């Protein structure tokens, strides 16, 4: 790997993953589909607006899907796509590094 120049794909990936809360949302969804309130319970310091904004962004880049179930009341679930699940090793390696150094 050539570290002497910046790779635009690395830069885009780092920009996405390093936004505040994004890695935490992805980590929560690694456990399977979740409703908004379930994600919020696991990340209580994040505002509803921020969670909504991050979820829309992750959906727009194909990392997660939003499924609306036409029930009464309406149920909405968020789930990682293959692209999102493919971040598993990245998320786990951050956890390993954190366990060792933080």
Question: Could you list the pLDDT tens digit for every one of the 102 residues in the chain?
Answer: 788 888 899 999 999 999 999 999 999 999 999 999 999 999 999 999 999 999 999 999 999 999 999 989 999 999 999 999 999 999 999 999 999 999
pLDDT reported for residue 56: 97
pLDDT reported for residue 6: 84
Residues 6 or more apart from 39 whose CB is under 8 A from it? 25, 28, 29, 51, 55, 78
Q: What is the pTM of this model?
A: 0.90
Q: Helix 22-29 crosses helix 8-17 at what angle (to 10 degrees)?
A: 80
- CB of 48 within 8 A of CB of 16? no
Query: What domains can you pick out in the chain, each with its CATH number?
Result: 8-101 (1.10.10.10)
- CB of 38 within 8 A of CB of 76? no
């Amino acid at each position: 790997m050539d570290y002497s120049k910046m790779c635009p794909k690395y830069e885009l990936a780092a920009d996405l993953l390093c936004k505040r809360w994004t890695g935490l949302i992805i980590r929560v969804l690694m456990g399977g589909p979740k409703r908004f309130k379930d994600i919020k319970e696991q990340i209580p310091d994040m505002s509803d607006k921020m969670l909504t904004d991050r979820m829309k962004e992750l959906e727009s880049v194909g990392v997660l899907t939003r499924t609306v179930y036409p029930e009464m009341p309406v149920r909405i679930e968020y789930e990682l796509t293959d692209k999102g699940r493919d971040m598993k090793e990245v998320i786990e390696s951050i956890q390993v590094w954190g366990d060792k150094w933080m």
